[in-house]
Amino acid sequence: MSILDSIAIQELLPHRYPFLLVDKIIEIVPRERIVGIKQVTINEYFFQGHFPEAPVMPGVLIIEALAQVGAILALREFEDRSKKIPFFSGIEKAKFRRPVVPGDTLVLEVEALRIGSKVQKMRGEAKVDGQIAAEAEIMSVIADR
C-alpha cells in the first residue's frame, strides 16, 4: 500500500530522473518516522559503470535515497514547501553492510532525531529482505529556493 506515490513525491521533492531515488512512501508518522521504497532494476543508469560485470548500487546513492525519504518527512512540516529545497549538510556513522543489486526492493526507514525550522537530523536504515544494507545519520538544511 502506498501513502505517497511517485507523483505525490515529486510534488514534495525537487529531485527528478535520474536522481529521484524513492518510488513510494508506505508509512509516515509526522515529525517521527517515514518508510519509503526504491525498486532497484537493471535499467538504473549507474549499473552501466558500477559494475558492468557485477552490478552493485553505489553506497552513496543508497545514502542519498535515505536522505530523500528524510527530506519528504521534513518538507511536509512546511506550509510553503514548494519554496523550499533540502541540502545535505552532513553524514555521520555511515556503514555499508551488504550489496544492493538489481531485483532488490530497498526499504528506506528514516527516524527523525531533530526536525527544526532549518536544520534536520535523522537516522536511516536501508534494508533488503529485512537485512541492513546501509545505515547513517543524515543532517540537512532546508533553505529557500
List pLDDT tens digits, range 12-26. Answer: 999 999 999 999 999
Q: Which pTM value belongs to this model?
A: 0.96
Q: Which CATH number belongs to the domain containing residue 22 in this structure?
A: 3.10.129.10
Residues 44-47: contacts with CB under 8 Å, at least 24 apart: 44/102, 45/18, 47/102
Half-sphere exposure of 96 (CA within 13 A, CB side): 10
Specify the number of domains making up the chain.
Answer: 1
Cβ burial of 20 (10 Å; 0-12, 13-18, 19+) is middle
- Domain interval for residue 60: 6-144
Decide if 29 is inside a domain: yes
Average pLDDT, the chain: 96
User: How confident is residue 117, by pLDDT bands cut at 50, 70 and 90?
Assistant: confident
Decide if 1 is inside a domain: no
Residues forming the active site: 50
User: How confident is residue 9, by pLDDT bands cut at 50, 70 and 90?
Assistant: very high
